[in-house]
Amino acid sequence: MIEVRNVSKTYANGTKGLDQINLTIEKGEFVAIVGLSGAGKSTLLRSINRLHDISEGEILINGQSITKAKGKRLRMIRRDIGMIFQSFNLVKRSSVLRNVLSGRVGYHSTLRTILGKFPSQDVDLAFAALDRVNIVEKAYSRADELSGGQQQRVAIARVLAQEAKIILADEPVASLDPLTTKQVMDDLKRINMELDITTIVNLHFIDLAREYATRIIGLRAGEVVFDGPVSEATDER
Ligand code: ADP
Ligand code: ADP
């Protein structure tokens, strides 16, 4: 489903974010990427959905090269990939419903999108997504009236409305308290299991990785230093 082949990323200032990474991630896996700040976790996720171009190598999504894709083809590949960020990235002054509907944007003509018009099937889909993360009652609230945990669940609902097959979550719980962290991780895990959505989560804490992931990939200085099932990730470092 996701193949990372010999990928290196060197930033404009010469910093090496990733150094010759090779990974294969199968459909339905729940993978935690762990490593210290600066290890390359974020660079890896940003490379997978091509938020930035890589310097070397190639990344395939369902057999299609996202590295080489352009225009419509690139948009089609990206439609399958949903992103979740530490800072939620919602449109703060918009309603929760509108934020979730924005996951449908890639499915409609630009004009329709600019006008903010969505077919009723999309609205149904958005409500179903909100229901899945137990936050339907907030549909008409302004996004910035919600707590951090609720905002992150809206971001998850947006990815569900997008009908993404892959979720890339970059430190999704880094700004949340322990209780909310558990709720958000539980949601991600449940969605992974119920909908068979391939999930890659960057995490600061190995404990969370152990609790939720089926596979842990450890990065250090842009290189893979550990890759295996949680049961083998025993060395507490
Ligand atoms: P350093 O201590 O120099 O930062 P490490 O090799 O200890 O580097 O680890 C780099 C990252 O990879 C760490 O964040 C750690 O969580 C992860 N890691 C290293 N070894 C293991 C292991 N055996 N099991 C799970 N994760 C590991
Ligand atoms: P992590 O997500 O594990 O904290 P990052 O992927 O953000 O690590 O960073 C990996 C390395 O790349 C670090 O040395 C970081 O300073 C560097 N880096 C990240 N983004 C940029 C950038 N836009 N320009 C230059 N260097 C960057």
pLDDT at residue 233, rounded to an integer: 79
Pocket test for ligand 2, best of 9, 37, 43 (most atoms within 8 A of CB): 43
In this prediction, residue 79 has a pLDDT band, given cuts at 50, 70 and 90, of very high
141-160 residue pLDDT tens:
999 999 999 999 999 999 99
Residues 6+ apart with CB under 8 A from 120: none
pLDDT at residue 204, rounded to an integer: 87
27-48 residue pLDDT tens:
999 999 999 999 999 999 999 9
Is the pLDDT score of 132 beyond 80?
Answer: yes
Ligand 1 is surrounded, with C-beta below 6 A, by 34-36, 206, 216, 218, 220, 225-226, 233, 235, 237
| Complex confidence, ipTM | 0.74
| Cβ atoms within 10 Å, residue 110 | 8
Give the nearest ligand 2 atom to 40 CA: 6
Distance CA 104, CA 29 (A): 25
Is the pLDDT score of 96 beyond 90?
Answer: yes
Q: If you search the block for the tokens 């490593």, which residue do you land on?
A: 35
pLDDT at residue 195, rounded to an integer: 96
